Amino acid sequence: MNFQNAADSGRVSIFSVPHNLSHLTRRPAFQEPVIDGVRAIAVLWVVVLHMVFFHFATFPAQAIAIFSNPATAWILNGTMGVDLFFVISGYLMGSILFGEMKTSGNLLFSRFYIRRFLRLIPVYTAAMALGLYLLHGLPGYSTWFNAENFWANILYVNDFLPILRQYMGWCWSLAIEEQFYLLLPACILFFMGLGKGRIRILAGLMVLSVAIRYTVIHTSGIVPPFHFLPGSAAWARWFDVVYDKPWMRFGGLLAGVTGAYLNCFFQPQLKRFFARTGLVTAISLVCMAIIYHVAMTGMGSVFFDRIPFLARELWWAFFHDVFSLASIFLILAAIHTPRLFGGWFRRFLSWKGFYPIAQLSYSIYLVHEMLFMWLFPRISPLFVGRLGAYGALAADSAFGLVITLAIASTFYVLIERPCMRLRTHPAFLNLIDFFSRPKLKLAAEEAG
């Protein structure tokens, strides 16, 4: 029996370090490499943003110069990596649930929620515990960095607290995803019972997303260009009103769910459409142009000074959702049109070097900010004398990335992977079976 079969039959412990470590380089045959590539790009984009962002205290002039330079504006827009995460989450969770509906005609809520719990909570709890050390006593922050509000993280409602009162504030996106996971099974069950017109409903919900964003933006007056500094009152108001609330960000998740629905129930039509390589190439180029424009347009860009106020409001209202729709189209194109752009597009996203990063992406996202906040002020003085400000910033970032990957790998091998493997353990399956049995059957068994 080979190693994989031994693991699958339970002969390899779920805590086996060599086995769990091997999954960082061995992609399962059922896993779509395009999704891994997009996930890796998303987390790297976010990490590069924070490499610069958390140097504001030590190298403010250099950080501002990087963010304001048109050639490096994409770094400041690393926040769009979160939109990519939302698109992927919507697509993957939608695919799981739509697939279950297509196969069985129903959804097993208990299985979905317990699997999500095992996937998310254990390593999240470990990261919050690590934060008690790394975030304690940081200059410019409360002594315990709002650790008294950890309960909001556990309940996934931390995005409803003001950002200056959140513990591990970057986890607002995890709260939105968990709120999405909580509602999605019931919404899909209701949605699939509607019969005809489902695509129109999805389109209507996307229009609703833009309408909500425009209403909030228009009434709050929070419109680019933005010239506030991180941590300022204006920055906090922007964050709390238009950035981290679920009603402002559900468009990305919806775009992913829409892609999953089409892929699950309209696959023959999708195959025929994406076989029209010329048309797909033209649309893909438009999508790439949209993504490039969004990525290279900094929120303080003079672009906004050159367009009317209404155009600024509309751009700000549309850009998250248009970016998300362009992204899901390119994902589907890479999956269904392997020869798009001569095949280089799919080959790029499927590059095997992206796979380990994709596997570690959750732990990377959890730990990298707190590590950068703790590490950069301590090691910058070691490099600045020899390398200068920009050299020290680069050296800090390289060390921070290496340590982040080491911590994320440890979390993955010791916590994430064991908990994922636990989902196929007989005890877990028995638990699912217990919750899924009809109540009348349970009553009969108890009476017997």
| Residue spans per domain, the chain | 3-447
Q: How confident is the prediction for the chain on average, in pLDDT? A: 90
Give pTM, 2 decimals.
Answer: 0.91
Give the distance from CA 356 to its chain's centroid.
16
* 17 pLDDT higher than 90: no
* Least confident range of 3-12, 49-58, 154-163, 352-361: 3-12
Distance CA 250, CA 139 (A): 34
Q: pLDDT value at position 443? A: 36
The helix (H) or strand (E) run that includes residue 278 is helix 277-296
* 24 pLDDT higher than 50: yes
Q: pLDDT value at position 297? A: 92
* 429 pLDDT higher than 90: no
Amino acid at 127: A
Residue 137 contacts by C-beta under 8 Å, 6 or more apart in sequence? 143
| 8 Å CB contact between 185 and 107 | yes
Alpha-helical (H) ranges within 193-226 are 198-220
Task: Tell whether omega for the bond before 225 is within 30 degrees of 0, i.e. cis.
Answer: yes
* Nearest by Cα to 360 from 402, 413, 419: 413
Hey, what are 51's tokens? 């490499």
* 195 pLDDT higher than 90: no
Distance CA 39, CA 23 (A): 16
* Nearest by Cα to 118 from 338, 412, 415, 381: 415
- Report, as an integer, the average pLDDT of 33-40: 96
| 8 Å CB contact between 126 and 132 | no
Amino acid at 74: W
Residue with tokens 């999405």: 180
* 82 pLDDT higher than 70: yes
Distance CA 172, CA 243 (A): 10
CA dihedral 285, 286, 288, 291 (to 10 degrees): 180
Amino acid at 78: G
Residue with tokens 């850009």: 319
* 407 pLDDT higher than 50: yes
Residue 29 contacts by C-beta under 8 Å, 6 or more apart in sequence? none
* 119 pLDDT higher than 50: yes
What would the pLDDT profile of 315-362 be if each residue is shown by its tens digit? 999 999 999 999 999 999 999 999 999 999 999 999 999 999 999 999
* 8 pLDDT higher than 70: no
| 8 Å CB contact between 100 and 54 | no
Distance CA 53, CA 47 (A): 10
Helices 198-220 and 309-336: angle between axes, nearest 10 degrees: 150
Distance CA 339, CA 353 (A): 21
Give the distance from CA 445 to its chain's centroid.
44
The helix (H) or strand (E) run that includes residue 256 is helix 246-265
The helix (H) or strand (E) run that includes residue 398 is helix 354-411
* 435 pLDDT higher than 50: yes
- Report, as an integer, the average pLDDT of 174-179: 96
Alpha-helical (H) ranges within 54-194 are 60-68, 73-76, 80-104, 109-134, 150-154, 172-192
* Nearest by Cα to 246 from 180, 150, 181: 180
* Nearest by Cα to 23 from 43, 45, 4, 44: 4
Amino acid at 242: V
- Report, as an integer, the average pLDDT of 83-97: 96
Q: Please, is 121 exposed, middle or buried when counting C-beta atoms within 10 Å of its C-beta (0-12, 13-18, 19+)?
A: middle
DSSP letter string, 298-362: -TT-GGGGGS-HHHHHHHHHHHHHHHHHHHHHHHHHHHH-TTGGGGHHHHHHT-TTHHHHHHHHH
Hey, what are 93's tokens? 């969770």
The SS3 of residue 107 is: coil
DSSP state of 7: H
| 8 Å CB contact between 420 and 119 | yes
